[in-house]
Structure 1
Amino acid sequence: MSARIRLAETREDICRCYEVVFELRPHLKPEPFVEQVLRQQSQGYRLAFLEEGGKVQACAGYRFSESLSWGRYLYVDDLITASTARSRGFGGELLQWLQAEARAAGCAEFHLDSGVQRFGAHRFYLRERMDIIAHHFALKL
């Protein structure tokens, strides 16, 4: 396990992740972000971050769940590398760490969704041997 990767379990660590998460979720504001992460953590959400040089370089929000279709699985809600830190291996390192977490928790599968417009992310996931297995449909209510 990488010593550079750990869970954001304090308000301070969650706040430190904001700038990186904001790149993927620009609708979020700093204080509501911290409160939302804390609420989601009470429901099983975890926020991991990779730090180098005293700065957060990549973040991953994830949760464990179970379904009839997949069995026990780890689902990645958010996976972001800071735009200034891309192509330095941080995303791959964090992805490998997440997969190790899934295996250690007895998960049969590892899942994430990616917006259809995120072509660079798709190339990354395919390069990391992930498969496109479904279309995700949504309806705003």
Structure 2
Amino acid sequence: MSLIEELKTQEEIESAYPIMSQLRNHLSEKAYVELILEAQIKEQYRLFALYENEKIVAVIGFMPMITLYYGRFIWVCDLVTDETQRSSGFGEELLTFVHDWARKNKYNSVALSSGIDRKDTHRFYEGKMNYKKVSYVYRTTLN
């Protein structure tokens, strides 16, 4: 049976690194922990883990936000299921958990971005979770 719990302490956050690093493989464990801890303080970032048989199999990180475009919404920053557990329904379970959290906390919608090359992920969001493409996300790196 699965269990979803929020990860708040440094030790709890570290325990999710092996899963999160499958999505954010550019981050060392130290950088990952520092960014999560800072985002929790400055951005209200929330990190939740889904446990199956007492082992983390998927994680989701999100931020409650308010913008003129979306109004009150949840931005999903990170969602990843362990590569050995994909297509087991854990991503759907975590995203549904966030939808419920958003409703309970009076947020109107949930938004996210997904890398251009992640075709399987796009099929999941669009086909299974009923997400719609609404924009492009652009980025520039500042030196």
**TM-score category, normalised to shorter length:** over 0.9
Count of aligned positions: 140
**2:117 corresponds to which residue?**
117
RMSD: 1.3
Q: Give the SS at the match of 2:22.
A: helix
Query: Offset at 1:3?
Result: 6.6
**2:78 corresponds to which residue?**
78
**What are the residue-to-residue correspondences of 1:125-140 with 2, within 5 Å?**
125-127=125-127, 128-140=129-141
Runs of 4+ off more than 2 Å: none
**What are the residue-to-residue correspondences of 1:92-107 with 2, within 5 Å?**
92-107=92-107
Query: Offset at 1:32?
Result: 2.3
Tell me the distance in 2 between the aligned counterparts of 1:51 and 1:10. 17
Query: Offset at 1:48?
Result: 0.7
**What are the residue-to-residue correspondences of 1:46-61 with 2, within 5 Å?**
46-61=46-61
Can you list the C-alpha shifts for 1:40-64, whole angstroms capped at 9, x where unaligned? 1002111111011121111111000
Unpaired runs of 5+ in structure 1? none
Tell me the distance in 1 between the aligned counterparts of 2:126 and 2:68. 25
1:9 pairs with 2:8: yes
Q: Give the SS at the match of 2:114.
A: coil
Query: Offset at 1:112?
Result: 0.3
1:42 pairs with 2:41: yes
Q: Give the SS at the match of 1:133.
A: coil
Tell me the distance in 2 between the aligned counterparts of 1:38 and 1:3. 25
Q: Which amino acid aligns with 1:130?
A: Y
